[in-house]
Structure 1
Amino acid sequence: MSSERLAELAERLRRFAENEAAGWSPLYEHLAAQAADDEDIAGLLTAAPAEQARPTLLFAAAHRLVQAEPLHPLSRYYPTLGGFDGVDRETWPLFREFLLERAERARELIAHRRTQTNEVGRAALLYPAVALAAKEAGGPVALLEVGCSAGLLLGMDRFSYRYLCDGGEQLTAGPAKASVGLHCSLEFGSAGMPHLPKKLRIGARIGLDSHPVDATDEEELAWLEACVWADQPERARLLRTAAHEQRKHPVELVAGDAVADLGATAARLPAELPLVVMTSHTLPYLPEQRREEFLAELTRLAGERPLWWVSEENYEVGLEHVSGQREDLAYDRTAQCTLGVVRWSGGSPRASILATTAPHGQRMTWLLEPV
């Protein structure tokens, strides 16, 4: 393996520890910081395609291996598996030894699996944006999620939401009785509160993914659980609950390319329904040129039917393609994603920046005046 590749992987691990895991996952912050200085562990990621070689994939592979050996001492640091120990001086040596002893199995997972965290909590971030698009559409919409994994977010209209505002107020949305209930901290400052309708009218829905996940398959569901960070059992519980709910309301998932198969997938939805295309933590896995081609394909589709794009991505890989550079929203500066809605007028896209968001739906800062 080249020194340049190892240096790049080490930097990804270091940035993950500092920008994504810090203050949110003590276990993954510690493991990523240690792995950044360990060529043997970081080097396991060289088994993955370049765009997939991310810290989350390494830790998902390790999580899956610990799932398979729940009595191993390492499991005591994994609350998703019943562990209750916090990070201590034994955590890294035990993790390192465990993973290197199973290096061949780890590389197999890393080479053939993808980080497909179907993070149910992100529905709380996406709901206000999809609701805004539906309000502008003036009726039921067809929802198409690109990079859908198991498609759990497509059931967002069946979830209940409680937004805890910084001033002590609470906003609620969604059905009062729902098996999946989400909580999200909401800051809004001078921007005012977002409009949150009690009901979201989704007339049809479909998911597109290069490798869609069948959440009714226990092995596939176990991989989705492995993609959940191991010290956050509540996220794993929500995943299971949403997967159970989806079994009552199956959704169509299409295996295909985010660009080449987007039009054909959209055509499977009723033509009379306005189309809302949704992406969430999907575009970083596309090369730069493919992101531009994705926007071009959205523009083409917008010429055929009313279309809105709801984007909850790092600003640089998503909305920057429409709104241009914004240093104040740059992920490298904020460690936050940016939520926005893109519409088309006269063949040209224009975006509304709605909020900055934390990666797993735990909080958002609203930036747009109510519409």
Structure 2
Amino acid sequence: MPTARRVVANSQVDPNRFWSDEPGMPDLAELRGQLLAFAADEAAGVSPLYEHLATQAAEDAEVVGLLTEVAVPEEAGQLLLAAAHRLVYAEPFHPMSRYYPSVGGTDGVDGATWPMFREFVLERATRMRELVRARVARGTEVRRAALLYPAVAAAAKQVRGPVGLLELGCGAGLLLGLHRYAYRYQTEADGQLTAGPAKSPLGLHCAVQLAEGAQLPKPPKSVRVGARVGLDPAPVDLADEDAYGWLESCIWADQPERLRLFGVAARMQRGDPPELVRGDLAGELAGAARRVPAELPLVVFNTGSLVGGADVVAALAELAARRSVYWVHCAPYRSGLDAVLPDRPDLAEAAGSGFSGTLALTRWEAGEAKVSVLARTAEDGQRLLWL
């Protein structure tokens, strides 16, 4: 990587010419590429505000320069917009807020959006740099509980009794409350199927398509859970106001329904929080599992890519040699599932399908992984293709 450095002060200059001088830090060309990828691959068709801001930011060397200290360049787009969102929350009467539905704004993207955003973040450059340097992008998507519920319920049905839940990469652990949420699965053939406690404060909707010849099993009204543990390299304590505020800021500003669900789930959790364990997913898996009583069959689940996927799966297999373990994988195929179910290119994301993940239930018998592929899933938790 080039080591020369110049301080960029002119947004009209090509940002590809400028570099960071510190080893391991991303150059501006790489950051620009990550912003464009975020706009095209994540925000397009989902968030007009974030697509516009990320696209414009990629062409502005001064704004890109705010990101030179990010630890993970792939998070550049999310971190830039989460940091700005955090600062808009802190100044809800600033004119920028009119573009942020999260603080009551109602204006759509127009010609003034980018110039105002640019001025806003550059005037607060010191704080922006502090946030992107010290924070990591945290995705909090409560709606994914609707994807997990059928698989967790299938494991509980086999157990015929209460289970212990262990979430890998839990963040704040809101998905560990999945048995407390109400669900409505909308199908074309059978209409609406309901599951979970009917009087739950939090209701989730999911549209279900059926593959040819497939039939969605009727989801149970309840799943009995005897213990809940989350494992994460950096778990989030929702009792910490600053940590709560950052999670809130990581939710996209023009998706107020996601913010509402996050708030409801967080309030529900405060009365009876799960136990969250800090540690490496593979290295601390056995220790976290010991916090679930041995008499409870263990249902381990993840909704994101597993860091060190093969090592985590090996740790799961080792754990399954000592106790009853079910693993619910709800993430892209090549983020862990491929370790127990190789050579399945049909489960990789199909371009334009909207289904980026695979829902699978794995159990080990005599050391051998028995995998049931249940569905393809949409990342936002609102669509399911049952296989």
Distance in 2, matches of 1:5 and 1:324, equals: 36
Asked whether 1:128 is paired with 2:150, we answer yes
Q: What displacement does 1:142 show?
A: 0.6
| Stretch deviating more after TM superposition (75-84 or 327-336) | 327-336
Q: 2:313 — aligned with what? A: 295
Secondary structure at 1:15 match in 2: helix
How many percent of aligned residue pairs carry the same amino acid? 54
Change (3 A) 1:332 1:28: farther
Q: What is the SS of the residue equivalent to 2:219?
A: coil
Match of 2:363 in 1: 343
SS at match of 1:99: helix
**What pairs with 1:311-322 in structure 2 (closer than 5 Å)?**
311-322=329-340
Residues 329 and 89 of structure 1: CA distance in aligned 2, closer, same or farther (over 3 Å): farther
1:118 to 131, 135, 140: 140
Partners of 1:345 and 1:5 in 2: how far apart? 49
Partner of 1:265: 288
Q: Structure 1 residues 78-87 or 313-322, which shifts more?
A: 313-322
Return the alpha-carbon distance in structure 1 between the equivalents of residues 385 and 30 of structure 2. 31
The higher-RCO structure (CA 8 Å, 6+ apart) is 1
Q: Give the letter for the 1:346 counterpart.
A: A
Gap change, CA 1:68 and 1:170, over 3 Å in 2: same
- 1:157 equivalent to 2:175? Answer no
Q: How far does residue 54 in structure 1 lie from its aligned partner after superposition?
A: 4.3
SS at match of 1:323: coil
Distance 1:51 1:14, change over 3 A: closer
Structure 2 counterparts to residues 79-228 of structure 1, below 5 A: 79-167=101-189, 169-190=191-212, 191-228=214-251
TM-score normalised by length of structure 2: 0.87
Instruction: Select the structure that is richer in helix.
Output: 1
Q: Which residue of structure 1 aligns with residue 322 of structure 2? A: 304
Once the two structures are superposed, residues 295-333 of structure 1 have per-residue CA deviations (whole angstroms, 9 ceiling, x without a partner) of 111111111111111111122223222222444432473
Specify which of 234, 243, 246 is matched with residue 257 of structure 2: 234
Q: Does the aligned pair in 1 maintain the 2:26–2:73 contact within 8 Å? A: no
> Residues of 2 paired with 1:6 and 1:237: CA distance?
35
| Residue 244 (structure 1) aligns with | 267
Q: Secondary structure in 2 aligned to 1:29?
A: helix
The structure-2 alpha-carbon separation of the partners of 1:356 and 1:9, relative to structure 1 and needing over 3 Å to count, comes to: farther
Q: In the superposition, relative to structure 1, how do residues 332 and 92 fare at CA in structure 2: closer, same or farther (>3 Å)?
A: farther
Corresponding residue of 2:46 = 24
- For residues 326-355 of structure 1, give each alpha carbon's deviation from its aligned partner in whole angstroms, at most 9, with x where no partner exists: 444324735522222222233232432222
CA contact under 8 A between 1:52 and 1:115: conserved in structure 2? no
Cα distance in 1 between the residues matched to 2:179 and 2:374: 20
Partner deviation per Cα, 1:258-277 (whole Å, 9 max, x = no partner): 12111101011100111111
Higher alpha-carbon deviation: 48-57 or 130-139? 48-57
User: Runs of 5+ in structure 2 lacking a partner?
Assistant: 1-18
1:278 maps to 2:298: no
Preserved contact between residue 228 and residue 236 of structure 1 (Cα < 8 Å): yes
Instruction: State the secondary structure of the residue aligned to 1:212.
Output: coil
Structure 1: 5+ residue stretches without partners: none
1:318 and 1:17, CA in 2 relative to 1: closer, same or farther beyond 3 A? farther
User: Which has the larger displacement, 273-282 or 346-355?
Assistant: 346-355
For 1:154 and 1:48, the matched residues in 2 are separated by 30
In the TM superposition, what whole-angstrom CA distance separates every residue of 1:97-151 from its partner, at most 9, and x where no partner exists?
2222222212211122122232211111111111112222332111001111111
Indicate the SS of the match to 2:167.
Answer: strand
1:358 partnered with 2:370: no
Report the CA distance between 1:225 and its aligned residue.
0.9
Larger radius of gyration: 2
Contact 1:132 1:195 in 2 (8 A): no
Q: 1:175 to 1:34 in 2, by over 3 A?
A: same
Deviation per residue, 1:168-214 (Å, 9 max, x gap): 71011001101111111111142222441111111111111222212
How many residues in Structure 1 have an aligned counterpart in Structure 2?
A: 362
For residue 53 of structure 1, give the secondary structure of its aligned residue in structure 2. Answer: helix
Query: Hey, what's the Cα distance between the residues in 1 that align with 2:153 and 2:68?
Result: 41
